[in-house]
Amino acid sequence: MKIISLLSLGIGLIFMGLLTSCDNQKMQTEINLKNLTPVVLKQEGTEIFQYWEFKNDSNLWTHHFKIPANIKSYKDTLENIFGKDSFNFHVQKMAYQDNSYQSVQTLNGDSINAQLVHSKMVGKIRPMQYLEAQLLDYQLSRYPLFSWPTEFHGFILTHDSLKLVKVYFAASDQPWPPKPNVILERLVEELKQGWTFKYHLHNHYEPRSSHYLGILAPSMADAQFYQFLFEDFNLENALITNGFHTVEINKSEFSKFKAHGNE
């Protein structure tokens, strides 16, 4: 009887351990930036500069997750406007990346950059990841992307020995993000403390004539900014999301894009 009882107890403890492990994994997956109190660095009118810090968990980087409410609302709105089939076609069109992509001759630097990505010469287009979706959803909870489109800055830092992620965020009610000087000042000190500037994230959107879906490629201004962040803060990767897919660009590719100052 004792052996059976001990065996039952052991199985029970293992089962409880598995439940705890699952709960911990679920907790990490369900980090919701809207429910986490940020550290506010500066706020002027609608401009905010703040950061969050939390445990680095693999689920932050997964593309398997439930779409956050504000992004889903944006998706549903576009589906209602264009119809599901047309909407899905344009989502896939914006994410198309293949060597067979037919480039056209142009002097427009932004168009050249887009062609570099779509022809698979630079960058990698992939599904949006969990942390990226959280940052976009946070801004959409402030200003819905369909009715009040804006862009934000997301500076994503990691610390390997501490196993932490720190995300600096800058945004306003304007179509473009505010100048993040207060964050850049902090980055200088963060790098000295062992943090790595892993990603810079921002979002793109377009007007109705382009089906609202943002271009998954850097503008000339973006490319210039990435080069600056690499040279001064050793940025490792740049990310641009349109709410459905994200293009990831390694620092070794920044110089391949057309940028202001190197036309």
Q: Report which residue type is found at 147.
A: S
| Burial per residue of 86-99, b for 16 or more beta-carbon CB atoms within 10 angstroms, e otherwise | ebeebbeebbebee
183 in a domain, yes or no?
Answer: yes
Instruction: Please check whether residues 18 and 58 belong to one and the same domain.
Output: no
The Cα–Cα gap between 207 and 233 comes to 33
223 in a domain, yes or no?
Answer: yes
101 in a domain, yes or no?
Answer: yes
pLDDT tens by residue, 148-163: 999 999 999 999 999 9
Choice between 18 and 204, residue whose per-residue pLDDT is larger? 204
Instruction: Please check whether residues 114 and 21 belong to one and the same domain.
Output: no
pLDDT tens by residue, 110-160: 999 999 999 999 999 999 999 999 999 999 999 999 999 999 999 999 999
Instruction: Please check whether residues 7 and 93 belong to one and the same domain.
Output: no
Q: What is the pTM of this model?
A: 0.88
Instruction: State mean pLDDT over 87-104.
Output: 91
263 in a domain, yes or no?
Answer: no
Q: What are phi and psi of 14, to 5 degrees?
A: -60, -45
Instruction: Please check whether residues 79 and 19 belong to one and the same domain.
Output: no
| Length of the chain in terms of residues written | 263
Q: Model confidence at 263, in pLDDT bands (50, 70, 90)? A: low
Residues of the chain by 3-state class (helix, strand, coil), percent to 5? 45, 20, 35
Instruction: State mean pLDDT over 185-199.
Output: 98
pLDDT tens by residue, 227-259: 999 999 999 999 999 999 999 999 999 999 999
17 in a domain, yes or no?
Answer: yes
Instruction: Please check whether residues 25 and 39 belong to one and the same domain.
Output: no
Instruction: Please check whether residues 77 and 187 belong to one and the same domain.
Output: yes
The Cα–Cα gap between 129 and 246 comes to 8
- Residue 5 is predicted with a pLDDT of 47
Q: Model confidence at 30, in pLDDT bands (50, 70, 90)? A: confident
Domain that holds residue 184: 32-256
262 in a domain, yes or no?
Answer: no
- Residue 1 is predicted with a pLDDT of 47
Domain count, the chain: 2
**Tokens at 82, concatenated:** 């264009």
Instruction: Please check whether residues 3 and 116 belong to one and the same domain.
Output: no
- Residue 208 is predicted with a pLDDT of 83
Instruction: Please check whether residues 23 and 37 belong to one and the same domain.
Output: no
124 in a domain, yes or no?
Answer: yes
Instruction: Please check whether residues 145 and 214 belong to one and the same domain.
Output: yes
Instruction: State mean pLDDT over 67-74.
Output: 97
The residues, ordered by sequence, that sit 6+ positions from 92 with a Cβ below 8 Å of its Cβ are none
202 in a domain, yes or no?
Answer: yes
Instruction: Please check whether residues 1 and 99 belong to one and the same domain.
Output: no
Instruction: Please check whether residues 15 and 127 belong to one and the same domain.
Output: no
Instruction: Please check whether residues 37 and 26 belong to one and the same domain.
Output: no
